[in-house]
Amino acid sequence: MLYQPKMIQIINLCVRKNGAAGRGGSLAINNVSLSLKKGTIYGLIGPDDSSNSTLMKAMAGLAQIAQGKIIGQGRCMLLNDVHKMGNLSLTGSETLTIYSALLGLTKSEAGQKAIQILEFAGLSRFANVRLSRYSQGMLTRLLYSAYLLFDLEILLIDASLSVGDLDFQAKIIRQLEYNAAHGQTIVIKVNEDALIPHCHHLIWLDSGRLKMEGVVEEVLPYWMQKRSSVVMPLDRKIHTSLVEIKSLKLLEKDTGKIPRTVTDNSDYILRLGFVSKEKPGTIAVGCSLRADRQICFLSEQKIPIEEKSSSYFFELELPQFLFTPRRYVVNLSISDILNGEVIGFAKIVEAISFDVSPANRESSKDAFFYAPEEWWSSASSPS
């Protein structure tokens, strides 16, 4: 058989930060237990501090385990950004033959495997060329091809799959799916959302703890909702001398509800709620919508504050043509104006953020928009 698959069991795993030994120090992986099945592609998701890389190093035997254990590993290799192809004075064929032999292949089998890998990488005619004469792109294709085609029970990938041209990237995905269909267990750190449809299960770590694990259809909605905050957190209130901001929400225009998923074929409302303080005046609300570090929408509106200790809200319409599938953030500024002079100012960066998902239609072109005054509703006290 090509593979001898086994289930991987991770039991109460704890790994200290920076691989520290002993009982002191904080934990990068905190009491994680998982059962990984053969023939399954697992996607590791989570925020930047989730320690997904540390978990993969522990599975590959490259991180010191403080507590717990990993059993049933089988042959396992970790592909990450720090791996190189070894001795650059050797040829591509010689390097792959040595790697294959280390995995237990006979000399004849190792030679055949080298031919197979070079062909997959599109480097057959460079088989007898020293690696020192390979370009960086050639070395990368060779490295990825080797990991994909080695006979492993477990393949761990902590590196971007956006390497080479689009044809080579498609070959990577097809090979991963082929490997899984033949019993290989694959764990991929999901650096790009495009990988998620190719995963069977998702493992969600947050600050080194297991948040959720299951099939993609079960986990993904919760992860997207967590990652896309469409309500300003209560601990990020803005205070000025005239007002206190109580809420900032992104709502569906049709229903007035907080969306579970933001799509590029629906209209939305940005609603700001605030309470006036002791003295009347005017506030100027500045709002910017940003994506990929670019401003794609900008608005400013002056709101008269006439009553003390009253609640107000106003809304800004965000039409669907503003959105393309990507991540957006809303920045907010508040200026206090009294007798024509600015007497106070406050701002909050990334007051809310959200990801826009495609809705099976052509996406809008990037553009810059300034919100006309009529897009704002008049400030009013909620009924």
**pLDDT tens, position by position, 317-335:** 898 888 888 888 888 888 8
Residue 222 in this model has a pLDDT that exceeds 80: no
pLDDT band at 371 (very low <50, low <70, confident <90, very high): very low
Q: What local confidence, expressed as pLDDT, does residue 39 receive?
A: 93
Give the pLDDT band (50/70/90) at residue 135.
very high
Among candidate residues 294, 316, 314, the one with its CA nearest the CA of residue 303: 314
- Looking up tokens 């030994």 gives 21
DSSP string, 217-284: HHHHHHHHHHH---B--GGG--B-SSEEEEEEEEEETTT-SPPSSEETTS-EEEEEEEEE-SS-EEEE
pLDDT tops 90 at residue 171: yes
Question: Is domain 8-227 annotated with CATH 3.40.50.300?
Answer: yes
Q: What residues does each domain of the chain span?
A: 8-227, 234-375
- 223-232 pLDDT per residue, tens: 766 666 676 6
Q: What is the pLDDT of residue 368?
A: 44
Helix (H, G, I), strand (E, B) or coil at 307: coil
DSSP three-state, residue 41: strand
Q: Tell me the pLDDT band of 93, cut-offs 50, 70 and 90.
A: very high
Percent of the chain with pLDDT over 70: 84
Element (H, E) at 70: strand 67-71
Is residue 250 very low, low, confident or very high in pLDDT (cuts 50, 70, 90)? Answer: confident
Please determine, looking at this structure, whether the domain spanning 234-375 carries the CATH number 2.70.50.60: yes
Of the chain, the percentage scoring pLDDT greater than 90 comes to: 35
**79, two tokens:** 């592909």
Rg (CA), the chain: 27
The DSSP secondary structure of 54-90, one letter per residue, reads: HHHHHHTT-S--SEEEEE---SEEEEETT---S-TTS
Q: Which residues pair with 44 in a beta bridge?
A: 189, 203
